[in-house]
Amino acid sequence: MKLLSLRANKPSFHPIVFKDGINIIVGKQVAPLDENDGNTYNGVGKSLTLHLIHFCLGANKITSFAQKLPDWEFTLNFEIDGVKYYSTRSTNEQNKISFCGETLTVTVLRQKLLNLCFGISSNPKNMTWNTLFSRFVRRYRSCYSTFDSFVPKETDYSKILNNCYLLGIDTDLIISKKELREKQLAASATEKAIKKDPIFKQYYLGKNDAELDVADLEYRISELEKEISAFKVSNNYHELEKEADEKSYQKKALENRRVLISNYIKNIEESFKETAQVKEEKLLKIYEAANVEIPAMVKKNIDEVLQFHSNLLTTRNARLRKELNKQKAELQEIDDKINVLGQRMDELLDFLNSHGALEEYVALTKQLAALQNELNRIHEYQRILKTYKDTVLDIKANLIIQDKETQTYLDDEAEYLSELKNKYWTFAKRFYPKKRSGLVIKNNSGENTLRYTLEARIEDDSSDGVNEVRMFCFDFLLLICRKSKIKFIAHDSRLFANMDPRQRETLFRIVSETCPKENFQYICSINEDALLSFQSLMSDTEYEEIVTNNIILELNDDSPESKLLGIQIDIDLEDKSKSSDDIN
């Protein structure tokens, strides 16, 4: 892919026509710095150019475009393998893109470009059109912080995956480790879940023995199943139970009555024994003992009294005998009733003992279900724990295997990797001949998602300008590896801001030498003072050939018409919400 032009549907827009080799967009400051009324290089549209390239090629919706640039359409013309294409996108309907006259959704366009430029029809997770294309066109401010910061908030895994793909380093090993690490994290989550579950926790911590509890539960379940199997449900259980209670009450009442009658009969029988015949002689002796002389007339009266008393006793005994017979008859009747009640109670109790109410049956089945659930939970725990332990062992074994496979791969590809390192080293040495530099590619055996450790180093890379040089060297390395059909890289003026003049001069010499030979484009936006800073380091002819002749657009701050859009407008291009998850 090489860029041909960037245009808009508004006449105020300054069209950009790209060419082979170096393409420089210059931001010029008309008023001298000490006389400036507030205008600066910023805001003329240099950075906007890179955002528009992304916009036309399927970037996420740019909200500020819809708000600040209604009814604008931008068209990017480009070619791939000599075939020309164009992509037009409106700020109003950003979910649709016209690709060579065909209206496509953004997602479809991304997949089409992914196939055209990278030959990828089925891309792995975290490797998308936007993550790969962003490595050729850094657009956000955050993308100029480190050599591998191409997408805001991009994960380390996504960085290593996309960078290694463009460097021609095996990505299957990267994906395999990521998948294995995810399994490891899932196993760790399982362990945490086990520790939180109140039942599982007591076994995991060794407070209870699962095997013993299983044996106990199985026994209790077996016994309960037998009880339920023998259980007979009676539909009128409660009615019979009530009848049994009433019979019991009646029987107790009769037994109490029986005791009373028995005691009464005993008293009657005692009365018979205590009945005594009053004798005349005994009565006389009583008076004699009292020294009382009893006249003959009195004696005659005593005889009469004795006869009366005898008659009275006879009558009393007859009455008692009648009452005794009556009570014995009643007692017999009570005994008969008690026997009848006893027989009925025996029948009821036998039935009730062999049957049960429906709710009792339900209670037994609920108890059985509870025991079975508890047993199932323990079995589930045993299964989960076994799976967890097996998984942990498998992961550890596979990590070792993958480590060995990766090391074998790096050893087998040592020659190719050496070429990569040498290319990076060659670029870095052009900038800093006396500084140690190099590309580090090695096996990462840590418990993380990174299969490789990939570092682009330049000694003292914390110094001003060194980090930017490191970024350029790494970006140019991705380009010359030719693992895609993209034949250009684009940089914003931020790349040059901290460089010293010598570094800027070296950069432009490298791209000037390489682009014609490799048929590449180098596109950059840069401030005029940065260009002038290294003019004295080149001959007039060199400067003209490398810089002056390659300026494709000049943007000034003297008026809105001199800016890229041709109008005065403030657009927020640094959307803080963007992340690698959004750019897909």
CATH number at residue 536: 3.40.50
In a domain, 83, yes or no: yes
In a domain, 469, yes or no: no
Contacts with 471 (C-beta within 8 Å, 6 or more apart), sequence order: 138, 144, 146, 147, 495
Helix ranges (DSSP H) in 32-76: 46-56, 63-68
Q: What would the mean pLDDT of 420-430 be, rounded to a whole number?
A: 96
Contacts with 97 (C-beta within 8 Å, 6 or more apart), sequence order: 56, 58, 87, 88, 89, 103, 104, 105, 106, 109
Residue 327: pLDDT band with limits 50, 70, 90: confident
**Residue 216 has what pLDDT?**
84
Q: Do 243 and 349 have their domain in common?
A: yes
Q: Do 150 and 284 have their domain in common?
A: no
Q: Do 153 and 244 have their domain in common?
A: no
Q: Do 8 and 107 have their domain in common?
A: yes
In a domain, 457, yes or no: no
Among the residue ranges 73-77, 213-217, 288-292, 443-447, the one predicted with the least confidence is 288-292
Find, among 317, 238, 232, the residue nearest to 273 by Cα.
317
In a domain, 376, yes or no: no
Has residue 352 got a pLDDT over 60?
A: no
Residue 252: pLDDT band with limits 50, 70, 90: confident
Last residue of a domain, one of 330, 355, 380: 355
Residue 217: pLDDT band with limits 50, 70, 90: confident
In a domain, 278, yes or no: yes
Among the residue ranges 68-82, 162-176, 268-282, the one predicted with the least confidence is 268-282
What gap in Å lies between CA 514 and CA 518, rounded to an integer? 6
Q: Do 37 and 131 have their domain in common?
A: yes
* Top-confidence range, 336-350, 360-374, 412-426: 412-426
Has residue 122 got a pLDDT over 80?
A: yes
DSSP state for residue 435 in the 8-state scheme:
S
- Let me know the angle formed at the C-alpha of 114 by 113 and 115, rounded to the nearest 5 degrees: 90
Q: Are 492 and 525 in contact (CB under 8 A)?
A: yes
**Residue 409 has what pLDDT?**
97
**Residue 553 has what pLDDT?**
97
Residue 41: pLDDT band with limits 50, 70, 90: very low
**Residue 339 has what pLDDT?**
87
What gap in Å lies between CA 576 and CA 584, rounded to an integer? 17
Query: By percentage, how much of the chain surpasses pLDDT 70?
Result: 82
**Residue 100 has what pLDDT?**
97
In a domain, 460, yes or no: no
**Residue 306 has what pLDDT?**
67
In a domain, 370, yes or no: no
Q: Do 158 and 11 have their domain in common?
A: yes
Q: Are 73 and 88 in contact (CB under 8 A)?
A: yes
What gap in Å lies between CA 572 and CA 66, rounded to an integer? 12
In a domain, 435, yes or no: no
Q: Do 156 and 258 have their domain in common?
A: no
Q: Do 136 and 265 have their domain in common?
A: no
**Residue 202 has what pLDDT?**
62
Last residue of a domain, one of 327, 355, 383: 355
Which domain range does residue 73 map to? Answer: 2-162+489-562
**Residue 584 has what pLDDT?**
56
Please report the beta strands in 238-388, taking only residues with DSSP state E, as ranges in sequence order: none
Has residue 204 got a pLDDT over 80?
A: no
Q: Are 176 and 380 in contact (CB under 8 A)?
A: no
Task: Burial-class residue 304 by CB neighbours within 10 Å (0-12, 13-18, 19+).
Answer: exposed
Task: Burial-class residue 522 by CB neighbours within 10 Å (0-12, 13-18, 19+).
Answer: buried
Summarised one tens digit per residue, pLDDT across range 476-525 is: 999 999 999 999 999 999 999 999 999 999 999 999 999 999 999 999 99
Q: What's the structural domain count of the chain?
A: 2
Q: Do 135 and 241 have their domain in common?
A: no
Last residue of a domain, one of 355, 390, 405: 355
Q: Do 9 and 157 have their domain in common?
A: yes
Contacts with 536 (C-beta within 8 Å, 6 or more apart), sequence order: 501
Collapse the DSSP code of 190 into the 3-class scheme (helix H, G, I; strand E, B; otherwise coil) and give the result: helix
Q: Do 24 and 147 have their domain in common?
A: yes
**Residue 184 has what pLDDT?**
86
Residue 473: pLDDT band with limits 50, 70, 90: very high
Has residue 583 got a pLDDT over 60?
A: no
Residue 296: pLDDT band with limits 50, 70, 90: low
Q: What would the mean pLDDT of 149-163 be, rounded to a whole number?
A: 95
Q: What would the mean pLDDT of 6-16 be, rounded to a whole number?
A: 97
Task: Burial-class residue 457 by CB neighbours within 10 Å (0-12, 13-18, 19+).
Answer: middle
Has residue 348 got a pLDDT over 70?
A: no
Q: Do 14 and 139 have their domain in common?
A: yes
